[in-house]
Amino acid sequence: DQQVKQNSPSLSVQEGRISILNCDYTNSMFDYFLWYKKYPAEGPTFLISISSIKDKNEDGRFTVFLNKSAKHLSLHIVPSQPGDSAVYFCAAKRYTGNQFYFGTGTSLTVIP
């Protein structure tokens, strides 16, 4: 059973606008969450993470929000740029382990 879910397979956004990518999880033991970005024919690269002791983490244009009660996290990209067009995976893990659980990915297209 999929413990990390990304229900939107794709998203299109105009350049300069905000992109919001969503992720839900079912395992309440998860306490560390990450977003990865993947271009075609390349491996995923780490983008941003958040620990369960926080509800927000920012890194430049990227902000991740965590709502533990709803078991939901989101990635905000502001402003969106054409180079942000990629597949975004969210992932989760438990503090006491190193196994990552990945969502199915959301393909973001930023339209110039």
Partner 1 sequence: NAGVTQTPKFQVLKTGQSMTLQCAQDMNHEYMSWYRQDPGMGLRLIHYSVGAGITDQGEVPNGYNVSRSTTEDFPLRLLSAAPSQTSVYFCASNPDRDNQNTEAFFGQGTRLTVV
Closest-CA residue to 68 (of 25, 106, 4, 102): 25
**Are 64 and 48 spatial neighbours (Cβ–Cβ below 8 Å)?**
yes
- Interaction pattern, residues 66-105, with partner 1; x per rule: CB under 8 A: -----------------------x-x-x-xxxxxx-xxxx
Residues forming a β-bridge with 87? 38, 107
**Shortest reach from residue 44's CB to partner 1, in Å:** 5
Asked if 44 interacts with partner 1 (CB under 8 A), we say yes
> What is the bridge-based pairing of β-strands 86-93 and 106-111?
antiparallel
Residues forming a β-bridge with 109? 12
Candidates 14, 16, 46, 81; binder of partner 1 (CB under 8 A) is 46
Residues near partner 1 (CB under 8 A): 2, 4, 6, 9, 32, 34, 36, 41-46, 49, 51, 89, 91, 93, 95-100, 102-105
